[in-house]
Amino acid sequence: MRRMFDYKCPDGHKFEAFIDVDDKRLLPCKTCGKNSQRILTYGGPVLDPISGDFPSATRRWTLNRHIKIAQERREAVSHGPSHL
Ligand SMILES: [Zn+2]
């Protein structure tokens, strides 16, 4: 099973990698190339397994955008004409 994991190198650079849960190897930092350790964070199950090099920030943005649109729609309904 593959999941998105956060990694942090000795210099403090953070990056994410979509790798196997059982793969405990150190990964080279994407910024400086030093060995980076997996940070223990629970990001929840990956609902949309995209290609893998898709930054999760974009995923989060898309999710927030959906929520915002839903809220705006609900608001538009409640502010609309309540009687005909
Ligand atoms: Zn680094």
* Digit-coded pLDDT (tens) for 37-71: 998 765 555 555 555 555 566 677 777 888 888 88
Q: 35: CA distance to ligand 1 center in Å? A: 8
Higher pLDDT, 80 or 20: 20
Threshold 0.75, pTM exceeds: no
Residue 83 CA to residue 61 CA, distance in Å, equals 36
Q: 72: CA distance to ligand 1 center in Å? A: 40
Q: Residue 32's pLDDT is what?
A: 97
Q: 10: CA distance to ligand 1 center in Å? A: 7
Q: 37: CA distance to ligand 1 center in Å? A: 11
Domain ranges of the chain: 2-39, 47-84
The two three-digit tokens of residue 49, written as one number: 């397994």
Residue 5 CA to residue 19 CA, distance in Å, equals 7
Element (H, E) at 79: helix 56-79
Q: Is CATH 1.10.10 the right assignment for the domain spanning 2-39?
A: no
Residue 72 class from Cβ within 10 Å (0-12 exposed, 13-18 middle, 19+ buried)? exposed
